Amino acid sequence: MVLKSCTTRFSAGVNDKKPRVGFKIYNNMKSIEIKWAAQLLKEHRDISWRYGVTLTTPTINISSGKKTLGLWSDKDKTLSISSHLIKNEIWDIVLEVLKHEMAHQYVSKFYNNADTHGKYFKKACAILGVHPFFIAGNTDYNKKLQSFKDELPADAQKMLKRVKKLMSLGQSNNEAEAQSALRKANYLLNKYNLQQIHTGDNNPDIKYLTICHKKKRIESIQRAILSILKNHYYVNCLTSNTYHAQDNVIYKSIVLVGQRESLKVAEYVYHFLLDTCQTLWQDFKKENRTQRGEKISFAMGFIAGIEHNHKTVFKNSGMQKNKNSSLPVKTVKSLMEKDNQIEISRLFPKLKKVKYGRHQTSSGAFKEGFKNGKTTHINKGMTHQKKGICGLLMN
């Protein structure tokens, strides 16, 4: 359902650096909805630029419907997005719905409304980088939305539960036993990812996950952790911007790309390392007279220690090869990266280079952080909810 009375019209000059904005607001248009419409217009312009398409600036409409998440009307050139969607879903999903409707706009302009969800629409979705889960028409739209967010397949859950049992051994005071458990856990993830690679090139299970701390900058420790995730957890990592609809603020964010099982692993490891580093720094700060800049040195030392620990665990390990395949871990990671890069190109077609954190070796704070990192193992931290496993760890 679309409320025609709740329409905000934003028009922008093609060559303007800043859009000329005109308002057509009715009494029942909420101020926050006006801000949402303004942001959606900016997103429309950004998506058009990012994917190299020329689409007429539409009327952005915030509708009240719950069943219709988005709607493109060629008759009055109006693109509607549901307020229910904006209130209840993260902005990433709002953008996927927006791109779905922009694909309809594209078909209207360039293919004379040749089809609704046929071959021309699918072609438009490919051009605009619409995720495979959001290409379906009205019949499967909400079903696909839930599938995008919810429960993992049964085989994935079985694999993750086995990893959970290994992680209970990973807390052992016996260093050899702990490292053995971590190697076996990594082997399981390696084996599962290899199986997924063999399923085909166009795999919708390659997804992305956004981590947002509601801050305007990404700290050095966060960038350094991304290097750990990239090197050891089958995901690619980027930094971006994310709009928070309730705050009406654009924050810096981290985007992880990979198999959704790997994303759950990487997300847990990210928070574990960030929280652990902050706790250890506070302990170090209480016991020592610290100087300005030593927090970063300590954090870089901690991550360098974590990296050293990972390399030590897997050096000359018999788990480097999958028993059911001649492919070593390094090769599987390389194949996964190829699939991940396809998704990255869909999300950020004009991305040129991804930078990760650099480790700086200086000061006693760095050495203390390094010592802490070497002795830190990623401990058991899984939780269960009705809709599947929501936390996981891996070395």
The residue whose two tokens read 């952005």 is 60
Where are the extended beta strands (E) located within the chain?
Answer: 7-8, 59-63, 70-73, 78-82, 206-215, 236-244, 249-259, 384-385, 388-389
**Which pLDDT belongs to residue 261?**
77
Set out the domains of the chain in order of their start, with CATH numbers: 7-149 (3.30.2010.10), 154-389 (no CATH)
113-122, 178-187, 231-240, 256-265 — which is least confidently predicted?
Answer: 178-187
CB distance 260 to 205 below 8 Å: yes
The pLDDT of residue 36 is above 90: yes
Q: Which pLDDT score, from 0 to 100, does residue 166 have? A: 63
Pick from 142, 99, 139: which is nearest to 122 by CA?
A: 99
Q: Is the pLDDT of residue 35 over 60?
A: yes
In this structure, of 86-95, 182-191, 243-252, the range with the lowest mean pLDDT score is 182-191
Closest by CA to 337, choosing from 273, 258, 222, is 258
Closest CA to 75 of 53, 49, 108: 108
Model pTM score: 0.76
Q: Report the percent of the chain where pLDDT is more than 70.
A: 61
Buried b (16+ CB within 10 A) or exposed e, 339-374: bbeebbebbbeeeeeeebbebbeebebbbbbbebbb
Cα–Cα dist 329/186, whole Å: 9
Q: Partners of 243 in the beta sheet?
A: 250
- Which comes out higher in pLDDT, residue 334 or 231? 231
pLDDT digits (tens, 9 = 90+) for 351-377: 766 555 554 555 688 888 888 877 776
CB 146, CB 161: distance < 8 Å: no
pLDDT tops 50 at residue 20: no
- Could you report the per-residue pLDDT of 144-166, keeping only the tens digit for each? 666 666 556 666 666 666 665 66
Measure the CA–CA gap between 165 and 136, rounded to whole angstroms.
38
